[in-house]
């Protein structure tokens, strides 16, 4: 409180150009200085003015040389009125500053800070957008021969929307189907033929093995019988040799007797005949033995050769069987591969054919139609927005609706998933739509130096009046703040970059009090620190309060 000593000098900041009492609206700070001698100095817009007498003399100084004209006299009257007005304003300010406000006027200009339960409401603007939207176009370029839907029609997933030209692909499909049937026939024929060939190879192997066994048996028999035959021939030759020697000795004895006439010639001829028979038998036995001895080894050799040939035949038949078995597996595998390849080609053509039949990817509605029957269309990016579609697309589809609101960064802490929200569309200002938060963007967007986050709101079922791209206002309802200290929002001011309020000092005059503010709800602002419950704050000021940096 400044001293009331009349000998002291005081400087008060007032606005000589405005009658407003709000310190926020007054940016210019004229100064009125009262000194103990009664002289007054006025300073308006930081430009010092002298006393009225000096100002009058200064204004009339140039007029002392010549007789003033009518225009100069008007200027003097204007300056005199300005000086008089400033003198009156100074007296008024002096009275206000030096005299405290009456209690009834103070009550009208202030309200007390009090605790209330604040309903958290965050308001943001947004737009209605489809939950999912795509441009429908063919996978391959071509001419569209049928278009079965129109703009605004609802469609089901898998429903045929359009048909591309596909006669050539259908012909290729028939050819591919024929190749599949041919490959299957070759496989079935091989599956029948190859087992028969393997059976024949096994039979040939069995025959070769049988011949080998027979030759081995013959060799074994020959090896056992030939020595016996030779031994038997030798025994027979020995017996015949004995009989031959006996016949020979009898001939010698009878020959002397026949010469002596002791025996008749007939008797001698009979003995001689026995001799010749024994000699013939002896020669025959010798020849037989010689034959056995001469033919035994060649026979053994022949049998051994037959065995070798049979063994070679067995080995050859076994190799042929094994080779056929191996090639059979490879041949069957190759034929199966040909079947699979033919089927793959057929499936590929089926896919190409199915690609010519354009179907709805999901349940939705046709939002745009870009092509007509007979038009040549080309592939486009299916996920591109409808706005970027070109005439080469067939149509655009959308599914469901959502609201995307841009929430300022400072309000993001009051939002959470599942939080209820209300939507008001510009097209339906009297209708309140309901929804809830389903997604909060993980990354902010900055537009014109304003940071915000995109918040997606899902509409509750049964609200079908909204349309895509409508502008809406969204209100998010958070958890109420319990027992929050609040003041009227109009009481919040800014001074020298600091946020605060004006409170009555001991003399009930406005004094700036810095505060920390929180949530602003309608006409109430939350005070985090700087005030206590029940403390009054100014909501309106009769004059600009004394500056904190005034000259003492």
**pLDDT by residue (tens digit) across 515-534?**
999 888 878 899 999 999 99
Domain boundaries 121-159+366-479, corresponding CATH code: 2.40.30.170
> 400-439 burial string, b = 16+ CB within 10 Å, else e?
bbbbbbbbeeebbebbeeebebbbebeeeeeeebebebee
pLDDT at 403: 95
Helix axes 167-260, 265-355, angle to 10 degrees: 170
- Token pair 């176009």: residue: 137
Under CATH, what is the fold of the domain 168-355? Helix Hairpins (1.10.287)
* DSSP 8-class letter at 517: E
pLDDT at 60: 37
Could you state, in chain order, the average pLDDT of each consecutive group of 10 residues for the chain (552 residues)? 35 35 37 35 36 39 40 60 62 50 71 88 91 89 92 92 93 94 92 86 87 81 68 76 81 79 80 84 78 68 81 87 84 92 94 92 91 87 48 83 92 89 93 94 91 94 86 89 91 92 89 90 88 92 53 36
Residue 44: phi and psi, rounded to 5, are: -115, 130
* Closest to 425 in 3D by CA, of 476, 363, 375, 469: 469
pLDDT at 544: 53
d(CA 342, CA 332): 15
- Token pair 């079935």: residue: 188
Q: How far is the first Cα of the chain from the last one, in angstroms, to the nearest whole number?
A: 11
d(CA 356, CA 377): 11
Residue 4: phi and psi, rounded to 5, are: -95, 5
Under CATH, what is the fold of the domain 111-119+482-538? 2.40.420
d(CA 160, CA 162): 6
Pair of tokens at residue 263? 């025996």
Question: Residues of CATH 2.40.420.20 domain(s) within the chain?
Answer: 111-119+482-538
pLDDT at 498: 92
Coil, strand or helix at 500: strand
User: Given CA atoms 408, 414, 416, 421 in this order, what sign does their dihedral have?
Assistant: negative
pLDDT at 216: 83
Q: What is the 3-state secondary structure (H, E, C) of 366-400?
A: EEEECCCCCCEECCCCCCCCHHHCCCCCCEEEEEE
d(CA 183, CA 5): 122
Instruction: Tell how many helices (H) and how many strands (E) occur in the chain.
Output: 5, 26
d(CA 502, CA 222): 142
Q: What is the pTM of this model?
A: 0.48
Radius of gyration of the chain (CA): 66
- Altogether, the residues listed in the chain come to a count of 552
CA distances from 412 to 128, 167, 359, 422 (A): 20, 58, 41, 17
State how far Cα 273 lies from the chain centre. Answer: 125
Question: Residues of CATH 1.10.287 domain(s) within the chain?
Answer: 168-355
- CB-facing half-sphere around the CA of 127: CA atoms within 13 A: 7
Question: Residues of CATH 2.40.30.170 domain(s) within the chain?
Answer: 121-159+366-479
């Amino acid at each position: 409180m400044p001293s009331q000593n009349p000998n002291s000098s005081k400087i008060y900041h007032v606005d000589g150009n405005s009658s407003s009492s709000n310190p926020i609206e007054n940016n210019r700070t004229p100064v009125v200085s009262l000194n103990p001698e009664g002289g007054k100095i006025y300073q308006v817009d930081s430009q010092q003015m002298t006393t009225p007498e000096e100002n009058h003399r200064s204004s009339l100084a140039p007029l002392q040389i010549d007789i003033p004209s009518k225009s100069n006299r008007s200027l003097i009257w204007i300056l005199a009125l300005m000086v008089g007005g400033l003198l009156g304003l100074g007296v008024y300010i002096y009275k206000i500053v030096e005299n405290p406000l009456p209690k009834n006027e103070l009550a009208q200009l202030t309200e007390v800070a009090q605790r209330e339960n604040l309903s958290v409401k965050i308001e943001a603007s947004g737009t209605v957008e489809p939950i999912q939207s795509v441009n429908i176009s063919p996978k391959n370029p071509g001419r569209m021969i049928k278009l079965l839907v129109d703009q605004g029609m609802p469609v089901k997933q898998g429903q045929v929307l359009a048909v591309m030209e596909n006669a050539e692909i259908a012909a290729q499909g028939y050819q591919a189907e024929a190749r599949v049937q041919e490959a299957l026939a070759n496989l079935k024929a091989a599956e029948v033929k190859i087992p028969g060939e393997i059976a024949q190879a096994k039979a040939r192997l069995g025959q070769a093995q049988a011949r080998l066994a027979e030759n081995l048996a013959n060799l074994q028999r020959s090896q056992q019988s030939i020595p016996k035959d030779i031994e038997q021939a030798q025994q027979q030759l020995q017996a015949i040799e004995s009989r031959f020697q006996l016949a020979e000795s009898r001939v010698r004895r009878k020959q002397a007797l026949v010469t002596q006439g002791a025996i008749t010639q007939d008797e001698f001829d009979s003995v001689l005949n026995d001799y010749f028979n024994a000699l013939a038998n002896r020669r025959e036995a010798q020849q037989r033995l010689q034959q056995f001895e001469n033919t035994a080894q060649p026979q053994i050799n022949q049998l051994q050769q037959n065995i070798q040939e049979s063994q070679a035949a067995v080995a050859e038949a076994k190799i042929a069987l094994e080779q056929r078995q191996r090639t059979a597996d490879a041949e069957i595998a190759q034929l199966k591969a040909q079947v699979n390849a033919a089927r793959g080609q057929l499936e590929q053509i089926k896919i190409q054919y199915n690609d010519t039949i354009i179907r709805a990817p999901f349940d939705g509605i046709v939002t745009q139609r870009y092509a007509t029957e007979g038009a040549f269309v080309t592939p486009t990016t299916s996920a591109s927005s409808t706005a970027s579609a070109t005439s080469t697309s067939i149509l655009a589809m959308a599914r469901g609706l959502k609201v995307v609101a841009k929430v300022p960064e400072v309000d993001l802490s009051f939002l959470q998933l599942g939080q209820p929200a209300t939507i008001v569309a510009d097209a339906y200002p009297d209708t309140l739509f309901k929804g809830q938060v389903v997604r909060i963007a993980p990354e902010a967007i900055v537009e014109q130096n304003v940071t915000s986050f995109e918040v997606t709101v899902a509409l509750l079922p049964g609200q079908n009046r909204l349309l895509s791209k409508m502008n809406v206002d969204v209100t998010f309802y958070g958890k109420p703040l319990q027992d929050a200290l609040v003041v009227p929002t109009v009481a919040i001011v800014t001074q020298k970059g600091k946020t605060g309020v004006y409170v009555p000092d001991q003399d009930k005059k406005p004094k700036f009090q810095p505060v920390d503010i929180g949530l602003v709800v309608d006409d109430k602002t939350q005070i985090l620190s700087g005030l206590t419950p029940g403390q009054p704050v100014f909501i309106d000021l009769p004059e600009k309060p004394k500056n904190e940096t005034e000259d003492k």
